[in-house]
């Protein structure tokens, strides 16, 4: 690899591709713009960076615990199919040097272009979830390359598409984000936004009169379940053991241990002890994630006041989905579990109806996207519809990421990536759109991507002015004031 390509690849993957570093850099820029002292700048930057490191450590614990849980569910039900995994398909793409270099260029220029768009339009969102930047750049660049676009054209199309999605999706979700955070100055920067908006929208209609998931009226003996860490652990202990016993009854002791692991002592007792331990690890992992979120928010939101004043006026940080978990920890578990249920229902619908009719592949619930996406959908649904909103939001998320994944798989297979696909709704729907536009081929395909991006930016700018800046609150019956009207900055009652 030549030095220039190496430099762009290094910056894209070792700086922009590392959310902890990206958050630290943005915190430092904000603190410098606020003219803080050197000690405050160093301390705030390191604390924000460490906050994400803590969050990532918690996510790693959860993912490790979810691996056997997925094996238990699939083994207990006997289901087989494609499991969407963002990391797996991204690794396959970047293992091919010709693809990996173009993805790095697209990501680098996409990030720069997103800042330009944020500066020049009402969409003042700065997207800070680095791994999702990489995933989106991968989807767009590889789809364009598959239709014989040159390297330069694929980079241009990928960069424009990435930059667009980094500013428009936070804008579309912002009214619901403000609702669930109580108006805190932050946005969602996670490419499952279609599902989050859908969950918040449906919550308004299914959850009228439903109390929040955080308002639990428990007997005195069960008051301990109000603690999010304890409640999460207890819920998962029950689920791990129930599905574990179902797996044992279906396949027997030896096959169950082979599928999901066993304890030191072996046998049925060792298997169940291992699942008990996995459930505890899951609960601990969620607690670590919440600690990391609180650490990040304590530093980055004040720092962004400096960016908003001097770099990008009105800038709002668009952060990873776990930042929402602290607002409704019980909805996190409800959304996750209902998303898995939705995924299983979607699997059945595919196997019985859609696959025979349209030759769509069977999609199994991937525990990682169903946890992070389903949990977020539960929080968004709870914000507008309480407990019923969390249940419906999580369930619908499971259906969305299952059906869209099934439609995207053939596009990925045509590129040469068989039996794998992306697991979050925005990668899926935008990948499908770009995949169809890319069929135009060459320069026309890239022009098509630019046109689609321009339409999205124009629509999101209208949404920002008409719904976000007027103070419209989902589910509260207020109507957005006409743009430019007197009092447009406040909700019209």
At 102-161, the pLDDT tens digits run: 887 888 889 889 989 999 999 999 998 888 888 898 889 888 887 777 888 989 999 999
As a whole number, mean pLDDT of residues 438-459 equals 92
Query: Pick the residue with more confidence: 10 or 284?
Result: 284
Query: Pick the residue with more confidence: 333 or 477?
Result: 333
Q: What is the pLDDT of residue 479?
A: 57
What's the CA gap between 118 and 137, in Å, rounded? Answer: 18
360, 354 Cβ separation under 8 angstroms: yes
330 located within any domain: yes
| Residue 295: HSE in the Cβ half-sphere, 13 Å Cα cutoff | 23
What's the CA gap between 291 and 285, in Å, rounded? Answer: 10
490 located within any domain: no
Q: What is the pLDDT of residue 218?
A: 61
As a whole number, mean pLDDT of residues 156-167 equals 96
Q: Return the minimum-mean-pLDDT range out of 78-92, 235-249, 415-429.
A: 78-92
210 located within any domain: yes
147, 438 Cβ separation under 8 angstroms: yes
As a whole number, mean pLDDT of residues 330-358 equals 91
- pLDDT band per the 50, 70, 90 thresholds, residue 239: confident
- pLDDT band per the 50, 70, 90 thresholds, residue 493: very low
As a whole number, mean pLDDT of residues 289-306 equals 80
Q: List pLDDT tens digits, range 173-186.
A: 999 999 999 999 99
- pLDDT band per the 50, 70, 90 thresholds, residue 481: low
Q: What is the pLDDT of residue 489?
A: 40
Domain count, the chain: 1
As a whole number, mean pLDDT of residues 56-62 equals 85
320 located within any domain: yes
Query: Position of tokens 């135009």?
Result: 440
Q: What is the pTM of this model?
A: 0.84
489 located within any domain: no
Domain that holds residue 326: 3-468
Q: What is the pLDDT of residue 60?
A: 85
As a whole number, mean pLDDT of residues 247-257 equals 88
Q: Return the minimum-mean-pLDDT range out of 104-118, 304-318, 348-362, 406-420.
A: 406-420
- pLDDT band per the 50, 70, 90 thresholds, residue 477: low
What's the CA gap between 206 and 67, in Å, rounded? Answer: 33
Write out the two tokens for 210: 């439903």
Is 326's pLDDT higher than 60?
A: yes
Is 331's pLDDT higher than 90?
A: yes
Q: What is the pLDDT of residue 478?
A: 60
Is 93's pLDDT higher than 80?
A: no
What's the CA gap between 90 and 421, in Å, rounded? Answer: 9
276 located within any domain: yes
Q: What is the pLDDT of residue 485?
A: 45
Sign of torsion, CA 91 166 317 9? Answer: positive
346 located within any domain: yes
Task: Provide the Cα torsion 247, 248, 251, 252; round to 10°.
Answer: 170
As a whole number, mean pLDDT of residues 354-375 equals 87
481 located within any domain: no
Average confidence score pLDDT of the chain: 85
Backbone angles phi, psi at 485, to 5 degrees: -80, 160
Q: What is the pLDDT of residue 416?
A: 65
Write out the two tokens for 68: 């056997």
Is 415's pLDDT higher than 70?
A: no
Is 350's pLDDT higher than 60?
A: yes
Task: Provide the Cα torsion 322, 324, 326, 331; round to 10°.
Answer: -100
Three-point CA angle 383, 387, 390, nearest 5°: 60
Is 91's pLDDT higher than 80?
A: no
Q: Percentage of the chain surpassing pLDDT 90?
A: 39
Q: What is the pLDDT of residue 487?
A: 42
Is 300's pLDDT higher than 90?
A: no
Residue 365 region by backbone torsions, left for phi larger than 0, else alpha for psi between -120 and 50, else beta: beta
């Amino acid at each position: 690899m030549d030095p220039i390509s190496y430099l762009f690849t290094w910056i894209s993957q070792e700086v922009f591709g590392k959310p902890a570093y990206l958050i630290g850099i943005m915190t430092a820029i904000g603190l410098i713009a606020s003219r803080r002292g050197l000690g405050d700048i160093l301390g705030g930057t390191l604390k924000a960076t460490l906050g994400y490191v803590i969050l990532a450590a918690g996510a790693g614990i959860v993912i490790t615990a979810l691996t056997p849980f997925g094996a238990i569910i699939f083994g207990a039900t006997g289901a087989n199919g494609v499991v969407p995994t963002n990391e797996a398909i991204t690794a396959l793409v970047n293992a091919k040097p010709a693809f990996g270099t173009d993805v790095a260029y697209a990501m680098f220029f996409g990030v720069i272009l997103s800042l330009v768009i944020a500066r020049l339009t009402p969409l003042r969102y700065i997207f800070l979830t680095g791994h999702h930047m990489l995933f989106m750049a991968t989807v767009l660049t590889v789809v364009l390359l598959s239709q014989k676009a040159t390297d330069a054209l694929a980079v241009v199309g990928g960069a424009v598409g990435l930059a667009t999605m980094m500013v428009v999706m936070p804008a579309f979700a912002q009214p619901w984000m403000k609702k669930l955070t109580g108006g805190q100055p932050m946005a969602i920067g996670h490419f499952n936004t279609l599902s989050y908006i859908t969950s918040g929208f449906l919550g308004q209609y299914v959850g009228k009169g439903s109390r929040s998931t955080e308002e639990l009226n428990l007997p005195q003996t069960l008051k301990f379940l109000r603690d999010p860490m304890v409640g999460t652990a207890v819920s998962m202990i029950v689920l791990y053991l129930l599905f574990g016993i179902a797996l044992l009854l279906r396949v027997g002791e030896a096959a169950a241990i082979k599928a999901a692991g066993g304890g030191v002592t072996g046998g049925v007792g060792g298997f169940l002890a291992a699942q008990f331990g996995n459930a505890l690890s899951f609960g601990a992992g969620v607690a670590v994630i919440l600690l990391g979120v609180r650490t990040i928010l304590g530093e980055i939101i004040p720092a962004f006041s400096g960016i908003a004043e001097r770099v990008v006026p009105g800038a709002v940080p668009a952060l990873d989905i776990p930042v929402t978990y602290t607002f409704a920890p019980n909805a996190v578990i409800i959304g996750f579990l209902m998303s898995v249920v939705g995924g299983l229902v979607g699997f059945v619908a595919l196997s019985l109806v859609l696959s025979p009719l349209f030759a769509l592949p069977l999609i199994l619930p991937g525990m990682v996207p169903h946890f992070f996406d389903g949990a977020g959908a539960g929080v968004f649904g709870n914000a507008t519809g309480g407990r019923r909103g969390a249940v419906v939001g999580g369930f619908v998320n499971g259906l969305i990421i299952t059906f869209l994944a099934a439609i995207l798989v053939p596009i990925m297979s045509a590129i040469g990536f068989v039996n794998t696909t992306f697991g979050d709704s925005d990668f899926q729907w935008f990948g499908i759109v770009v995949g169809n536009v890319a069929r135009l081929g060459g320069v026309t395909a890239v022009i098509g991507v630019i046109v689609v991006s321009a339409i999205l930016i124009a629509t999101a700018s209208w949404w920002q002015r008409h719904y976000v800046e007027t103070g419209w609150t989902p589910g509260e019956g207020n109507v957005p004031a006409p743009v430019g009207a007197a009092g447009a900055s406040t909700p019209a009652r």
